[in-house]
Amino acid sequence: MNKAFFLAPMAELSHRALRELIFSFGGVDEYFTEMINAPSLLSGGPLERYYIDAEPCPEKIVFQLVGADAEKLASAASILDKLACKGIDINMGCSAPAITKYGAGVKWMFHPEKARRMAGLVRKSTNKRLSVKMRLGPEEKFEYLLPFCKGLIEEGVELITLHPRTAKEKFKGRARWNYVADLKKELSVPVAGNGDVSSLEELVSRADGPWDAVMVGRLAVKCPWIFAAARQSMGSQSVTDVPSAVNVINSVNLEETAFRYLELLEKYQPVEFHKSRAHRFFQYYCGNMFWGNYLMNLLGREKEIPTMRKILKEYFNEHPDEREHKI
Ligand SMILES: Cc1cc2nc3c(=O)[nH]c(=O)nc-3n(C[C@H](O)[C@H](O)[C@H](O)COP(=O)(O)O)c2cc1C
């Protein structure tokens, strides 16, 4: 069956520049944005507009909200509700201490009644599709996870994405996709799975699973063409793309793609974000190169895009055979 492909929400990564790059290859049905801090959105700082930029495909954008306060999340959802988008997602999966110490992200999963009330409040403030991205919860217990999800669905949540690791596992061990299959069997709403898709073959094989959608994070940064390549190898179009939106690709030019990303970063992100967004991107993208660690370290010392360009140019001049990456 033709499963939907989602780009995962990733802080400092799932912004317009990366989306534009992935979009140029095609194959994605929904692009989740990096988490948008609800109190910051409400306070209306000058950089917030970059977080709520829904281009280049507002109809496929899912804005993800993060926060610890139900009322603020609901008010932030009512702001997003006025923008063109596919839906609004609530972050109940982030396990970074900077987020959980305030009671946000996966901390909601420790308090099912509070989480349920919050989802109900957010539901009242938007008519957009409401979804939640979560982990297994505090422990690996399906008998805890299932009623947690059912409670949210009773409040009007319409899609659940499961990254099947516990709160404390962060990225340790393996994502246990059997829980995604188990949830799919029990829930009345679509279920997406996420976690550890690390190759083209794995994406194609996950696309054959019993769930409704496959969400990919880190691999999509390393290989922005991965969704298009998977569609191509499956001989299918994405669920929502028009046929011409997936370009036929047999190989990509790694140098050109890196340059294109930097160009998009300059065009669509404020200068305050260039360094962090470039470093984050190259942390994954350099995994394509034989001397990737070395290159990543060099780039990691640079603060400005022009000097990053210079380093990339020198690298590919020294290793010209690394330009062409076969798919
Ligand atoms: C750098 C980075 C930032 C992330 N930021 C978010 C976020 O803003 N919201 C969220 O729900 N998950 C976030 N995640 C988790 C991813 O969405 C995803 O669940 C996780 O990376 C597992 O998927 P993957 O193995 O395909 O990367 C982040 C992950 C990474 C690596």
DSSP 1: -
13 lines ligand 1 (CB under 6 A): yes
Q: Is the pLDDT of residue 236 over 70?
A: no
User: Which of the listed residues 249, 276, 305 is the one where a domain comes to its end?
Assistant: 249
> Are 288 and 274 within one domain?
yes
Domain that holds residue 201: 4-249
Crossing angle (nearest 10°) for helices 112-124 and 70-80: 30
> Are 159 and 296 within one domain?
no
CB 73 within 8 Å of CB 118: yes
> Are 13 and 160 within one domain?
yes
94 annotated active-site: yes
> Are 217 and 98 within one domain?
yes
194 lines ligand 1 (CB under 6 A): yes
**Rounded CA gap, 92 and 133, in Å?**
6
> Are 74 and 161 within one domain?
yes
User: Which of the listed residues 249, 268, 298 is the one where a domain comes to its end?
Assistant: 249
- The per-residue pLDDT for range 56-86, each reduced to its tens digit, is 999 999 999 999 999 999 999 999 999 999 9
For residue 273, the surrounding DSSP H or E stretch is: helix 271-285
> Are 212 and 307 within one domain?
no
**Substitution candidate for ligand 1 out of 10, 200, 284 with most atoms within 8 A of CB:** 10
Residue with tokens 């470093």: 279
CB 192 within 8 Å of CB 213: yes
Tell how far the Cα of 314 is from the centroid of ligand 1, in angstroms: 31
Q: Is the pLDDT of residue 246 over 60?
A: no
Tell how far the Cα of 281 is from the centroid of ligand 1, in angstroms: 13
Q: Residues 57, 85, 94, 149: which is the catalytic one?
A: 94
> Are 135 and 91 within one domain?
yes
User: Which of the listed residues 211, 233, 249 is the one where a domain comes to its end?
Assistant: 249
Residue 243: band (very low, low, confident or very high) from pLDDT cuts 50, 70, 90: very low
Mean pLDDT score of the chain: 95
pLDDT in the model for residue 244: 47
- The per-residue pLDDT for range 268-309, each reduced to its tens digit, is 999 999 999 999 999 999 999 999 999 999 999 999 999 999
> Are 173 and 84 within one domain?
yes
**Rounded CA gap, 84 and 161, in Å?**
22
List helix spans (H) across 26-163.
Answer: 38-43, 48-51, 70-80, 97-100, 112-124, 142-154
pLDDT in the model for residue 72: 98
For residue 56, cis peptide bond before it (omega within 30 degrees of 0): yes
Tell how far the Cα of 93 is from the centroid of ligand 1, in angstroms: 9
Nearest to 10 by CA among 212, 281, 241, 240: 281
Say which CATH number the domain at 11 has: 3.20.20.70
Crossing angle (nearest 10°) for helices 142-154 and 178-186: 40
Number of residues assigned to the chain: 327
> Are 282 and 180 within one domain?
no
> Are 149 and 297 within one domain?
no
> Are 34 and 180 within one domain?
yes
Q: How many domains does the chain have?
A: 2
Crossing angle (nearest 10°) for helices 16-25 and 254-268: 140
pLDDT in the model for residue 235: 80
Half-sphere exposure of 318 (CA within 13 A, CB side): 11
> Are 43 and 133 within one domain?
yes
β pairing state of 251-253 and 324-326: antiparallel
Going through the chain in order, the beta strands assigned E by DSSP cover 4-7, 30-32, 36-37, 61-66, 87-92, 129-134, 159-162, 191-194, 213-216, 251-253, 324-326
Q: Is the pLDDT of residue 95 over 50?
A: yes
Q: Cβ neighbours of residue 111 under 8 Å, at least 6 residues apart? A: none
- The per-residue pLDDT for range 1-23, each reduced to its tens digit, is 579 999 999 999 999 999 999 99
109 lines ligand 1 (CB under 6 A): no
In percent, the amount of the chain with pLDDT more than 90 equals: 92
- The per-residue pLDDT for range 24-51, each reduced to its tens digit, is 999 999 999 999 999 999 999 899 999 9
